[in-house]
Amino acid sequence: MFKGKKITAGIAGGIAAYKAAEVVSWLKQQGADISVAMTKNAAEFITPLSMKTLSGRPVAMDIMDTSSDWHVPHVDLADCDLLLLLPATANLLAKAAHGLGDDLLSATILASNAPVLCAPAMHTNMYNNPATQENIRILQQRGWSFIEPGWGRLACGALGQGRLADVEQIKERIRDSLQEGPLKGKRILLTAGPTHEYIDPVRFLGNRSSGKMGYAMAEAARAAGAEVLLISGPSSLPDPAGVRVHRVVSAQEMYDAVWKEYEDCDIVIMAAAVADYRPAHVEPNKIKKSGEQSLQLVRTRDILASLGEHKGSHFLVGFAAETNDLLAYAQDKLERKNLDMIIANDVSQAGAGFDGDTNILSVLYRQDGSLLRQDYPLQSKKEVSRQLMALIARQLENA
């Protein structure tokens, strides 16, 4: 997989720079043609000599340097199969998002058409700063892949998110980036977010779904090579990069949108929290206060169950959001809705379910006539989505 692959590792100035040494050494051992570009600040944390020894090539630091291997350093380094940024600082992300090229590494980024795999590492406040988050969003929209920083003790002693991801995780993501996505050629329809069932022009019945889980799944499906259509209920999240998005409001609109696309897709994943009931009548004008009110509700159509009745060769994945008897209810939904897989989500647990950035999941699926279970402990919705896509791809291969 690595033989003949040109990888440029860009190292920015952060304490995590020393971890780049292990990754560069590993890439060299795997047979990759690895070049290193360092910022001057990175060289304060790890010496260019170390990186030269590990990569087996001169290390580029200066955009004007024509003394070594490079003809035009930033252009030569930009010409690669993968641009790996490890670690990426808040400053590097800001420069890349806004097109600055005032040193070798940022100019290399500007000059490159290669896929970018970026592992940020910085203090929690810098990572959470709206400017940094906006820069990450911009770069994601341009197709960059990010390896989320981990939680834990930071260099300053504080606890929080910002540590460079584990080296093993980084290696796995590099492998994923260099091989063809396991879902290439598959068309995936995903749903996300809540539905809003209007009572009158200003009030609706809804739920706490933010769309984060479904949007993370859409990004992971795209990164795994699939063609993705996301049918989203009301959510303030921006459209994921490279994903076709169709926004709807009510359960009925979601039903219609899903059915319109069903024939043309291979996999359906329903992460949306679809209302089970809607008001029997929608008042055309705002309801005025006048003593007691009661609301008559009628059932919405169960989208997933209706798909299960016409399953054909589709691979159907449901979610089950429960507060008790998680696995029993999830298994019941798997069977009743005729699904291939159900992702059980105990929404009563801290760190799981609605709105947050993390989740805790158990997946039930059928294989060779047996019911199997795979647990996913507390982790970010983005990371667990990546793992779920790998599981779905494996199941499709086995089918």
Binding site for ligand PMT (CB under 6 A): 193, 209-214, 251, 270-274, 276, 300, 302-304, 318-321, 333, 345, 347, 353-355
Beta bridge partners of residue 33, listed in sequence order: 6
**Closest CB to ligand PMT among 89 and 359?**
359
Sheet holding 341-346, edge to edge: 244-247, 227-232, 187-192, 267-270, 315-322, 341-346, 358-367, 370-380
**Closest CB to ligand PMT among 120 and 193?**
193
Tell me the H-state helices in 56-103: 73-78, 90-98
**Closest CB to ligand PMT among 173 and 333?**
333
Beta bridge partners of residue 204, listed in sequence order: 198
- Radius of gyration, alpha carbons of the chain: 24
Query: Sign of dihedral through CA atoms 133, 79, 87, 42?
Result: negative
Closest distance to ligand PMT from the beta carbon of 9 (Å): 34
Query: Is 118 a known active-site residue?
Result: no
**Closest CB to ligand PMT among 38 and 321?**
321
The amino acid that residue 75 corresponds to is V
Closest distance to ligand PMT from the beta carbon of 365 (Å): 14
Closest distance to ligand PMT from the beta carbon of 273 (Å): 4
Q: Are 218 and 192 in contact (CB under 8 A)?
A: yes
Beta bridge partners of residue 380, listed in sequence order: 358
Q: Are 297 and 279 in contact (CB under 8 A)?
A: yes
Tell me which DSSP letter residue 349 carries: S
Closest distance to ligand PMT from the beta carbon of 383 (Å): 14
**Closest CB to ligand PMT among 151 and 354?**
354
What distances in angstroms separate CA 104 from CA 20, 24, 73, 82, 98, one per listed residue?
A: 18, 19, 8, 17, 16
Closest distance to ligand PMT from the beta carbon of 299 (Å): 8
Closest distance to ligand PMT from the beta carbon of 166 (Å): 24
Separation of CA 345 from chain center = 18
CA angle 260, 263, 266 (to 5 degrees): 120
**Closest CB to ligand PMT among 22 and 355?**
355
Which pair of tokens denotes residue 247? Answer: 């926004």
Active site residues: 156
